Structure formats: structure tokens, C-alpha cells
Amino acid sequence: MPAPLPGPLPPAQSVVAVQIGEIMVTPPVIRTPAGVLPLAGSSWHVMDHWQKEEKVATWAIVASILGFFCLTVFSLLFLLVKETRHHGTVQVTVTNGGHQYVARIPVADQFQVQQINNQVNYARSLSTG
């Protein structure tokens, strides 16, 4: 049987309940790059910001260049084809007392936004319970 280690035991690491961007909720505190906030009584706010980007599709550029040699004028119609891409950020704000931290998390689709909202709702439930 091995002998017990002498001296005090190292402190146990807190378990991360949820991580939202760079915000880690480890009850009973919230850890951010700017410092530590108490979890009890904290308020959470989520805003999503979407941007729409339109550009000429890559395949349309290739088709217009290749088609230029066969159908000179009509191949330029391919340049009217646009691709629409949505992208954005979700801004999560946590406030407790006079302290506030804002995390901006890049997202590519609505599923990621819903996942962040679910994580924030879980953090809200921890802060009231």
C-alpha cells in the first residue's frame, strides 16, 4: 500500500459548467479575460448582428470566360449571377453590479446562434438558482 503524500492537497479545479466564447461559467463565479464576476445575480443579454454579402459566383466567372470564345455576348450574362452569403456575430453581455463584459462570437449560420442562446439560457438558470 503506497504511503500518503505529505502536506496539503492542491486545490481542486472548478468544473466549467458552460463556456460562451471566452466567458467561462464555473459556479459560483464567471471567468472572463477581464476578471472574475460573481455568478449569483448576474444578468445576461444576447444580440445577433447579421450581414448579407453578395458577389458574382465563381462558377459564373469561369463560365463567362470559357463561353466568351463560343458565345461572345451571351457569355457575359453569366456575370449577372450572384451568390448571397450571410455571416455575422453574436454579442453576449454579462453584467453584475458595476462590472460588465462583452464577448463577440463569429457565427456562420442560424444553428450556431441558437446554440449560443441555449448556452446563455443555461447560464441564466445557474445565476438565479
Confidence of residue 27 (pLDDT cuts 50, 70, 90): confident
**pLDDT digits 0-9 by tens, 14-24:** 788 999 999 99
In angstroms, the CA 129 to CA 122 distance is: 11
Residue with cell 448576474: 42
What is the identity of the amino acid at 110?
A: Q
At 128 the pLDDT is: 83
Report which of 119, 95, 118 is spatially closest to residue 42, judged by C-alpha positions: 95
What is the identity of the amino acid at 77?
A: L
Q: Give the count of beta carbons closer than 10 Å to the beta carbon of residue 21.
A: 19
At 105 the pLDDT is: 96
In angstroms, the CA 112 to CA 126 distance is: 21
**pLDDT digits 0-9 by tens, 65-112:** 988 888 778 888 888 999 988 889 999 999 998 899 999 999 998 899
